[in-house]
Amino acid sequence: MQKAIYADKFFFEHEVSGPGYLVLTDGTFDGFYETLPTSHFDVIDYTGKWIAPGLVDTHVHGLLGHDVMDNDVHGLEKISEGLLACGVTSFLPTTLTASIESLNEVVKTIGSCYQNVSGAKIQGIFLEGPFFAEAYKGAQNSAYFSDPSIEALQKWQELSRGLIKKVAVAPELQGANEFIKYATESGVSVALAHSGATYKEAKAAADHGASMFVHTFNGMTPLHHREPGMVGAAMSLNGVYNELICDGYHVHPQVVKLLIRATDVDRTVLISDSMRAGLMPEGTYELGEFPVTVKGKTACLENGSLAGSVLLLKDAVKNLVDWEIATPFEAIRMASLVPAKSLAMDHMCGKIASGHDADFIVLDRHLGLLATYVNGEKKYERPPNKKKIMV
């Protein structure tokens, strides 16, 4: 028997519809109906609730005490499972700057097990480093920095079984433009990050195919009226995407609003940049080889610099709406369809469309996550609130 999801609102690619019924067939989306054509359906009733596409997090280092750089299959599984509680159904495990040998092993491990995780789906790998510059290095280990290497990328692609989807580069490095041209022509999206580049250098990188700025405003030269820098390039170049960490700490909400106004909703990619302390209590953790202190909603190095985040992507969506920067439709789009489109993955994830895997989330009217479905099966449900018993 086919399943049908009944709800008040459904967030499709171009519109919000409902109330109605979303039909699922063999784990994929089928048609949408205001009234079901027959009675031969197993109806799952979400009256008063909203249905949105599963979120797509293209920048995730870790969760639940595990990190991608641990090079551990069990850890990847736990990250995959934990992301379901964040509303994420597709993600890119994200590396850190490390030795070439370590990165070889990590991408090989991901390539060997990515189809076997039981939670959010691994749709590719994001290599954040080692092709960075000393300026604005953030929590990246400069001991392993190097100029971009086409040979290294080719090796990583071979070891990962073609899973490298995104690589970050500082555009001022020697050979960067040649590397960017090769990577984009081979189907790998290039993002610009951890760089002291000028506007001219960033534009040259974009002219050679770079299409994204990593955690925009963080780890890059700021906007100045005489030298626009990396931020000026991110805000003004046509056709580029901008990652944003919308936790209220990495970027002030009013600056988030400025960027979205300057570029567009459809060029803004919400990310978590979550490190291993995501979904964990306050305390001391590690990011790469650096100790990180997590207090409140921030993760910081000993010098006070932000080091990744503990943001959950579902909360980034809610923040944009609560800050009155975006509508629910726009905020959900920036965390689902736009990330998928930024890496040409929208044929696999990021939207509710006939024939696509039935990966979706159930939200209340306040954008609280109630449930997460993968391939039409409920994989996560928010625990009921525990009420105090008065005696």
End-to-end CA distance of the chain: 48
Closest among 377, 375, 361 to 83, alpha carbons compared: 361
Residue 148 CB contacts under 8 Å (≥ 6 apart), including other chains: 131, 169, 173, 175, 176, 178, 179, 180
Query: Phi-psi bin for 319: left (phi > 0), alpha (psi -120 to 50), beta?
Result: alpha
273 is catalytic: yes
- List the beta bridge partners of residue 24: 3, 29
Bridge-based pairing state of the strands 189-192 and 164-169:
parallel
The reply to whether omega before 253 is within 30° of 0 (cis) is no
Q: Which of 57, 67, 247, 273 is catalytic?
A: 273
Q: Encoding tokens for residue 303?
A: 């010098």
C-alpha–C-alpha distance, residues 145 and 196, integer Å: 14
Catalytic residue annotation: 273
